[in-house]
Structure 1
């Protein structure tokens, strides 16, 4: 077995777990500052729509790794909250796609702007000579997770 085939050690998993809690805290704070009624899973659905554009509810559920019925209920709540709209193509009245409403786009932009600002402050605390290593490691981690790079979102990326 080659060293690169070895499973990650506990220290690596622990470090990623700790970092994920820190990143989740940034997201939770940013979301709460914008809209206390939107849950983190609902926000994740909005981000997927912002990244990838309109989706069938079943495709959105798959992207979120939830059951289709859970995805449909989530869409129902987001439609009721005015953050998502359902669209039916003229050529197939049975088909439904969900997409961000203007309010949904504004929410994602505002939360993203706040997250970027908070993350920039946190990254300033890193030694300058370690920042590139952190960026490289996080890009590799994001690629492994299948995340869409910020520069490739369907909703134009938000800058500070």
Structure 2
């Protein structure tokens, strides 16, 4: 006979497996939405574009810290992004000693396209559910997000989420 504790463990295992399956689906949608972008950029370069599109122009040092690389390594990465037309360097109007990295229109168009593609794919999945199931998904994700707490923006930008 299975004890109540073992039954509770089985229920929790089923719950964890369901959450893992759901997270794989969400990650799959995120990865598919990035496919076109990653043909011309590395994931790290795309993360930079998401950060500066979401926050506005940032200092190179702040961007390097946000994505977890050494500033000297990041300088070379910015050089490549400038050469490809994804970002510009501009003087900080508040202190002319600093240089800011800013997105170009080309970068904004790309980031917007990725986010739109992701949104459209999520909408398509949700449309396949009936209204009651959509309500359950809304409630479940709302509660799950609240229980998980805030996600660090640096972590979120790994897959291109702005917030």
* TM-score, structure 1 as length reference: 0.68
Which residues of 2 match residues 48-127 of structure 1 at below 5 A? Answer: 48-89=51-92, 92-125=95-128, 127=133
Q: Which residue of 2 aligns with 1:136?
A: 142
Which residues of 2 match residues 36-55 of structure 1 at below 5 A? Answer: 36-55=39-58
Number of aligned residues: 141
Distance in 2, matches of 1:106 and 1:137, equals: 33
SS in 2 for 1:144: coil
Q: Which runs of 5+ in 1 are unaligned?
A: 1-8, 149-156
Structure number with the bigger relative contact order (C-alpha 8 A, sep ≥ 6) is 2
Question: 4+ residue stretches of structure 1 with deviation over 4 A?
Answer: 9-21, 90-93
Q: Displacement, 1:84?
A: 0.9
Distance in 2, matches of 1:10 and 1:50, equals: 40
Give the structure with higher Rg (CA): 2
* TM-score, structure 2 as length reference: 0.67
Cα RMSD of the aligned pairs, angstroms, is 3.2
Please identify, of 131-140 and 80-89, the stretch whose mean Cα deviation from structure 2 is larger: 131-140
